[in-house]
Each structure stands twice: as structure tokens, then as C-alpha cells.
Amino acid sequence: GVRRCLYVVPNVWQEDLEPLMSLGETRGYGRIFLARESLSADPATFRAELRARIATESQNTALSVLLVGSSNDYEPMFDDWQTWWPAGEWRTVRQGYLDQGYVRQAERDIIPTWYAADPRPQPDGMSWFRPYFDTDFPYSDWTGDGVPDVVVARAPVATQAELVAWIANVLEFEYVPRPPLRIGVWANDSDWSGNSGLFVTDLVNEHVLPFVPSGYTSDVLWTSQIGGVHSLREAALRSQIGSGVETVVTLATISTRYRTGDFHRETFAVTSIPFSPRFVMIGTTCDVGGFNRTHNPSYGVPAGVRFLTAQDRGAITWIAPSAGSWQEGDAVIAQALLIEIYGQPQRALGTSFLEAQQAVLASRPDLSDLVQSFGFSGCPFTRLSTNDVPTDALVVPRQTFLYPSVPNPFNATTEIRFSVGESGRATLDVFDVRGARIRRLFDGLAHPGQLQRLVWVGTDAVGRPVSSGVYFVHLNAGGKALSHKLTLLK
């Protein structure tokens, strides 16, 4: 299908958005402009109307959606709080927020988000700070099957000045030479009391560092080595970002709503570094994507918005959860994002985010809530440099892994790739929605470190073209079974 981008924007910002929409057209994305005012002012009706529009525009189209405007949780915090806040402990927590200065701020709810209830007591619930978390996932999953269908990105801006600054940053990233081929890692390998947290060390060594592409260097900042002094941590972050990194991966309690330790306070301080190179943030830690509220209102504008909208510093894309999260699941998502982003560095970052979501949901359905809490803040068609990425940057993990098919959806051919963790027989099949096998694409010996590439041309076992629709590719290797969805459009 044709690539298009649906821009959901307040009318007053349409002229400001023109340079970005023009850039999208140069990247092959046809524009669809949807004024915020054309949809209902009621948040619940707005969500339903926009989701229906996304479903309509997705027909025979590889659709990306850009929501231009911040969201705000004034509905579950104030208007409908008795529904969202269970009696008992959670209402005490809510009162604590109000006592700290939480105000309604309905005017900042420019593009309403969705909410997912998580009323489990602290610390059992993923939300941790609230009995719900905000998510744009239902916009992307317009079919309602629990798997995202389209790319949904958000520009979390609340003013024209923030929007103009963010667009300028996107254009700069497209046309200014990139920083050195370096990936920075912020790792909290100490627990909140300062004791060793070796499990974080293991997760970084298992899920992050092996997936740094060849030709790149990695720079890990360990809290255990830097120590707990704020000035030392800030200096370390300033040095790393100031010297140039293309991507930053976090695996730490770096929440924008909670504690002042663990690179939290320092993250805010780093937003003041002038003229630092832009970078992509893979914020796989608690609540780094929770832009519109902070646990302590005195912090003002959250770190993510500062990084995205400052004109002379900061990030270009911010991928992170809007809720509390556990490090093991975060590490799995960090790995998937590194694989997808650096596996195809010329591909749009929004598409890589979508593919990573689909890959994690296929291999780890138990992480569904965590995947849904992750959001993509930035321009959906921004991509990494096409000039300075090594040609062998595709990561081949020494484990059984089924890469998302490319392209998907497709209308002629799609490439399916996989790797295995041990030598042995592997099979790769395509099934229809009824569970009938359509075609076997691979049946043979596979070895670790080798990337298997197969092409399906949309035909069955005897070469007959199959009809448009949804199919599933299924890998069996080394005692593991992995699968993901394919969509054939004709």
C-alpha cells in the first residue's frame, strides 16, 4: 500500500506544521491533515472518532499517525476520579498528589490519550504511582486484537513555541551530520539504598551490549562506579552526551515522577547542556515517557519535553513507558528496539518502534501491559543517518529470534528473517487465520550467528497466489516456537 501520515493537529498550528509535512512528502509519506477541532471536544467521543478515522485511513495504506499536542490525566485525576481511584490506599496516594500541588490543567489535554486501569496495590501494579497508566496504544491497535497495526507517534507539545522548536530540531537532525557512532547506556546497578543490584548488570550485559551494532562503541555509566553524589553523576552524563552519542539506552529507575536518585535529578540537569548533539532516547526505565505530570510538581516541565523542545540541545526521539516498569521486561524491549532500529537504520524510526512492539508481543505476550505503556514521542518518519551506518550493522543474536517481516503490510513480496541459538533443525511456515498451513518456507539445518533470509511472494505450496488478508509466519527451532502476523494487501 501507499505510505501516508495522518497529522492530528489544532487548526492554529497547521501553518507551523507545514515544514514537517513537506519533509514527510520527501520521505514518501503522503499527507492527511485532520484538524483537532473537527473531532468532538468530549475526550471519550474524541477517542472513538479518531480511532475510527485511523481504521478508515489504514485500508490499503501503510499508515503513520502523528498526534500533535500534549495529553493530560485530568479526567481520571479529577473529573472521574472515584472510578479510577479505588477506596483505601490509592485514595490516600491521590490526596498526596493534591497536597503537593496537582492542579487540573485541562487546557494541556490537547490530544486526549487513553487510560488502562491497574488497581493492584503498590508495589505490585505496573502503574506504581497511580492505579492507571496513560497510553496511545489503542489508537495504533484499531483492530482490537492486542497487536498494534499502525505507527502512532506524539509530539508532546503544549505551546506554539514548543512546537516550532521541536520541528526545527527534526529538520536539523535530517540535514546536519550525525555524532560519532556511539551508544550511551545509563545503568542503575545499585538499588535505592546503594547496595549492589547485580541483576541490572546481568540484564545490560545480556540484552543491551550484545546488540550494539558492529562499528559502534558503547559507553556504559554504572551508578556503582560513579557513586551517589549528584555532582559526579551529572558530570558523567554531561561528558557522555557532550562528546556525542547517537542513541541513549537507560536501564535504571530514572522516573520523571519519583525519586531524586538513580540519574533522575541528573537527567533534568543534563537538559541544560547547550549545543549537545541530538540523540534517540530508548528510555526503558520507570515512567520516562510520563511527560505531563510529575510526582513533585516543583520540577516543572518534565525532562522528556525539555529534551525534545529545546532549540540547542537534547533528544530527537523519546521512546519510553508512561508507567512504572520492571527491569527484566524493560531489558527485553530495549533489545528489540536496538535490533529493529539498527537492523534497518535507513527505515523510519516509527516503523522500527512498531516492529519492536510486534516482536515483543509475539515472543513475550506476558509483557503486553508493559508494551502498551510505551510511547513514541517524535517524528514517525525520522531515520538514522544513511551515510555513517556500517553496512554490516545488522545484529544477529546468538539466540532463537524471529525478526519482523519487511515490508509488512506488503502487496507483492516480503522478507522473513530468523536466527537460532543452537545448531539443529528449524522450520518456518506460513498459516492462514484458520490455522491451515499455506506454505513451508524453510525446513533444514540452521546454526547460531547466521541470519536466515526467506522471501514469501504470496503464493501457496503449489505456487498459486493467495488472497489478501492476514497470515501468520511461524518458526520452530531449538524447542522454541515464535510467530508474528503478516498482512497481504493487493
**Is the pLDDT at 176 greater than 80, yes or no?**
no
Mean pLDDT of 120-149: 87
Amino acid code (one letter) for 310: A
CA–CA gap between residue 307 and residue 287 (Å, rounded): 15
For residues 473 and 430, is the Cβ–Cβ distance under 8 A? yes
CB atoms within 10 A of CB 201: 17
pLDDT at residue number 195: 47
Lowest mean pLDDT among 23-37, 151-165, 376-390, 444-458: 376-390
Question: How far is Cα of residue 238 from the mean position of the Cα atoms in its chain?
Answer: 24
Mean pLDDT of 183-189: 85
* Predicted TM-score (pTM) of this structure: 0.77
For residues 356 and 339, is the Cβ–Cβ distance under 8 A? yes
pLDDT at residue number 192: 47
pLDDT at residue number 154: 97
From first CA to last CA, the distance across the chain in angstroms is 8
pLDDT bucket at 178, cuts 50 / 70 / 90 = low
For residues 331 and 203, is the Cβ–Cβ distance under 8 A? yes
CATH number of 401-488: 2.60.40.1930
Lowest mean pLDDT among 158-162, 273-277, 358-362, 472-476: 273-277
Please, is 41 exposed, middle or buried when counting C-beta atoms within 10 Å of its C-beta (0-12, 13-18, 19+)? exposed
CA–CA gap between residue 473 and residue 485 (Å, rounded): 7
Mean pLDDT of 38-60: 96
Q: What angle do CA 62, 292, 71 make, to 5 degrees?
A: 45
Mean pLDDT of 351-378: 95
pLDDT at residue number 214: 82
pLDDT at residue number 49: 98
Nearest to 222 by CA among 243, 245, 258, 196: 196
Handedness of CA 362, 366, 368, 370 (dihedral sign): negative
pLDDT bucket at 129, cuts 50 / 70 / 90 = confident
More confident residue, 21 or 305: 21
3-state SS string for the chain:
CEEEEEEEECHHHHHHHHHHHHHHHHCCCEEEEEEHHHCCCCHHHHHHHHHHHHHHHCCCEEEEEEEECCCCCHHHHHHCHHHHCCCCHHHHHHHHHHHCCCCCCHHHCCCCCEEEECCCCCCCCCCCCCCEEEECHHHHCCCCCCCCCCEEEEECCCCHHHHHHHHHHHHHHHHCCCCCCEEEEEECCECCCCCECHHHHHHHHHHHHHHCCCCCEEEEEEHHHHCCCHHHHHHHHHHHHHCCCCEEEEECCCCCCCCCCCCHHHHHHHCCCCCCCCEEEEECCCCCCCCCCCCCHHHCCCHHHHHHHCCCCCEEEEEEECCCCCHHHHHHHHHHHHHHHHHCCCCCHHHHHHHHHHHHHHHCHHHHHHHHHEEEECCCCCCCCCCCCCCCCCCCCCCCEECCCECCCECCCEEEEEECCCCEEEEEEEEECCCCEEEEEEEEEECCCCCEEEEECCECCCCCECCCEEEEEEEEECCEEEEEEEEECC
pLDDT bucket at 188, cuts 50 / 70 / 90 = confident
**Is the pLDDT at 272 greater than 60, yes or no?**
no
Condensed to tens digits (0 to 9), the pLDDT of residues 8-18 reads: 999 999 988 98
Lowest mean pLDDT among 18-27, 171-180, 407-416: 171-180
CATH number of 160-377: 3.40.50.1460
* 413's grid cell: 513480496
pLDDT at residue number 150: 97
Condensed to tens digits (0 to 9), the pLDDT of residues 67-79 reads: 999 998 889 999 9
CA–CA gap between residue 380 and residue 27 (Å, rounded): 11
pLDDT at residue number 348: 94
CA–CA gap between residue 360 and residue 253 (Å, rounded): 21
pLDDT at residue number 139: 98
Domain limits, the chain: 160-377, 401-488
Condensed to tens digits (0 to 9), the pLDDT of residues 283-299 reads: 888 777 876 555 555 55
Mean pLDDT of 162-179: 76
* 462's grid cell: 503449489
CA–CA gap between residue 316 and residue 281 (Å, rounded): 8
CA–CA gap between residue 353 and residue 332 (Å, rounded): 13
pLDDT at residue number 198: 56
Question: Are the folds of 160-377 and 401-488 the same?
Answer: no
pLDDT at residue number 417: 82
CA–CA gap between residue 154 and residue 7 (Å, rounded): 10
